[in-house]
Amino acid sequence: MSVLKICTKSFAASLGRQSERSVKKIYRISSSFRTFSTEGKLEYDLVVIGGGSGGLACAKEAVAQGARVAVLDYVQPSPRSTKWGLGGTCVNVGCIPKKLMHHASLLGEAIEDARSFGWRIPGNAEIDWLAMRDAVQDHIKSVNWVTRVSLRDNKIEYVNGRGRLADANTVVATLHNMKEVLLKTKNVVVAVGARPKYSTAIGAQELGISSDDIFSLEKPPGKTLVVGGGYIGLECAGFLNGFGYPSTVMLRSVPLRGFDQQMASMVVNEMEGRGVNFICKCVPESLSKTPDRRILVKWNTTPGANGGSGQGEDVFDTVLFAVGRKAVTDSLALEKAGVETHKETGKIFTTNEQTNVPNIFAVGDVLHRKPELTPVAVQAGRLLARRMFGNDKTLMDYDNVATTVFTPLEYGFVGLSEEESEKRHGPENLEVYHAFYKPTEFPIPQKDMSNCYIKVICLRREPRTVLGMHFVGPNAGEVIQGFSAAMKCRITMEQLLDTIGIHPTVAEEFTRLTITKRSGMDPNPQACCS
């Protein structure tokens, strides 16, 4: 019971002409904690653990197929105590805020470019970190809310609690008030995703942040060290640098490991040209606080590496670790049902999203050796629900999934890298078409075009099926999307070159490719429209 007393007299007096009519009578009422049935168990056809891209897509489709579904979602606070709402990584600390901040960063550049096109813009454009962050967070909160409303509209029970297995048919949800709810279910889908890893350097967890924290950082990041050369590290360093915060990227080995390395080097060249500092083949050894509350980082050459930037130290305002993500399977008690996971990564082994336990499935970033992308998780989740509760037998196709790295100059691709193509088919069976190109809008503001490059890898023998398409340039995501549909139709080089381009665009460059690597000819553009 709680009693609410306020000083009615002085309160009423201070209300002026509102006076007593607006002061309600005080009376005792019982506490209104959010109640949840804890007696007995609740029966479901499907319990989804994880309310992110994959989990929600699966749940909504399952309900559409007539199943009774509950979704559990819970966010373990980051080491910096950052938390967020429903929707998973993509909505809260991934794709959405990333793309917004990348866009915000490019807008600053556009303001400067505008002068060359005749705009009179007084003064210098400066980013207000808090205003930008608040705009982004506002948007995220609206998505959290829309997601929540959508679950209710779809009659999906939403439990804001931490899930674990008691056995193959029982999920236990631990709520905020530590109460436990038992959910009996015919099927389980694990869609818990992953969270950032920290380096083992001394002081990393205490003083560093991760992508979990950057999008809601309470003060401007200042001079930043990003540890990690994967797409998360490069994208973050990219937009931070664009905002005017001096940025450094520390790479343990190579940038965008596993991606086409020639394209990766273009991306890095572009970032270097924009002022991002790269420390190569090094790992941080220690982080410590300086007297003026900044962070002193000491680093050394990666064990076993040759060359690189070598040992060093510097002081930063922010250190962001982007050294990989670990699947959040440790606390799920998967062993209670006997679900097999990878010892080191914690990821779940599946065949067509089914684990070794027949009624337990998984989708999204938690899967072993599958692309960690929202649209992949969404499609896999949807198809899985249709197979589980509908009559559809369609399996998920994980091949030829297009993706884009949203660095300042973006890199979009679909299909295989040149390295992977060579591995599978042998270099003698491949033809690689390539070209540098000049976006029409770049020369006037004197933007650097030296990294605007495209590459198409195809088989040399008929039919010359296209194996991979790679693009570094502006709006790479928009450029590549349509081509992934073409790849799905197994487009050949002849068909691609028979396609007429839209002029003037950057995407049309794919239809103008003539020079192969094998010919040794200069891939630089000669003239505009020839």
> Residue numbers of the site for another protein (CB under 8 A)?
1-7, 11, 14-15, 18, 22-24, 26-27, 29, 31-34, 85, 138-139, 141-142, 144-145, 148-149, 152, 160, 175-178
The least distance separating another protein from the CB of residue 152, rounded to whole angstroms, comes to 6
The least distance separating another protein from the CB of residue 3, rounded to whole angstroms, comes to 6
The least distance separating another protein from the CB of residue 188, rounded to whole angstroms, comes to 25
Rounded to whole angstroms, the Cα distance separating 207 from 202 reads 9
The least distance separating another protein from the CB of residue 75, rounded to whole angstroms, comes to 11
Cα 410 off chain centre by: 15
CA-wise closest residue to 89 among 102, 75, 77:
75
Q: Which contacts (CB < 8 Å, 24+ apart) does range 167-175 have?
A: 167/336, 167/337, 168/337, 168/338, 168/357, 168/359, 168/360, 169/359, 170/41, 171/47, 171/49, 171/72, 173/72, 175/36
* Cβ nearer to another protein, comparing 148 with 447: 148
* Cβ nearer to another protein, comparing 3 with 528: 3
* Cβ nearer to another protein, comparing 141 with 369: 141
Rounded to whole angstroms, the Cα distance separating 251 from 227 reads 7
Q: Residue 305 in 3-state DSSP?
A: coil
Rounded to whole angstroms, the Cα distance separating 224 from 234 reads 12
Residue with tokens 């591995």: 423
Q: What is the DSSP code (8-state) at residue 285?
A: E
Rounded to whole angstroms, the Cα distance separating 108 from 115 reads 12
Cα 186 off chain centre by: 31
* Cβ nearer to another protein, comparing 23 with 64: 23
Task: Compute the Cα dihedral for 360, 365, 369, 371 and give only its sign.
Answer: positive
The least distance separating another protein from the CB of residue 73, rounded to whole angstroms, comes to 12
The least distance separating another protein from the CB of residue 148, rounded to whole angstroms, comes to 6
The least distance separating another protein from the CB of residue 27, rounded to whole angstroms, comes to 7
Helices 95-116 and 231-243, packing angle to 10 deg: 40
In DSSP terms, 158 is beta-bridged to 71
CA-wise closest residue to 58 among 395, 385, 392, 359:
385
Strand locations in 97-208 (E): 157-159, 161-167, 170-175, 180-190, 194-196
Establish whether 503 is a catalytic residue: yes
Tokens describing residue 37? 């049935």
CB 54 within 8 A of CB 381: yes
Those residues whose C-beta lies under 8 Å from the C-beta of residue 239, and which sit 6 or more positions away, are 98, 101, 102, 104, 105, 408
**10 Å Cβ neighbour count for 5?**
6
CB 374 within 8 A of CB 93: no
* Cβ nearer to another protein, comparing 23 with 333: 23
- Give 110's Cβ-side CA count (13 Å radius): 7
* Cβ nearer to another protein, comparing 59 with 339: 59
Rounded to whole angstroms, the Cα distance separating 366 from 370 reads 9
The least distance separating another protein from the CB of residue 394, rounded to whole angstroms, comes to 34
The least distance separating another protein from the CB of residue 71, rounded to whole angstroms, comes to 14
CB 474 within 8 A of CB 439: yes
* Cβ nearer to another protein, comparing 11 with 117: 11
The least distance separating another protein from the CB of residue 145, rounded to whole angstroms, comes to 3
Rounded to whole angstroms, the Cα distance separating 290 from 284 reads 16
The residues carrying an active-site annotation are: 503
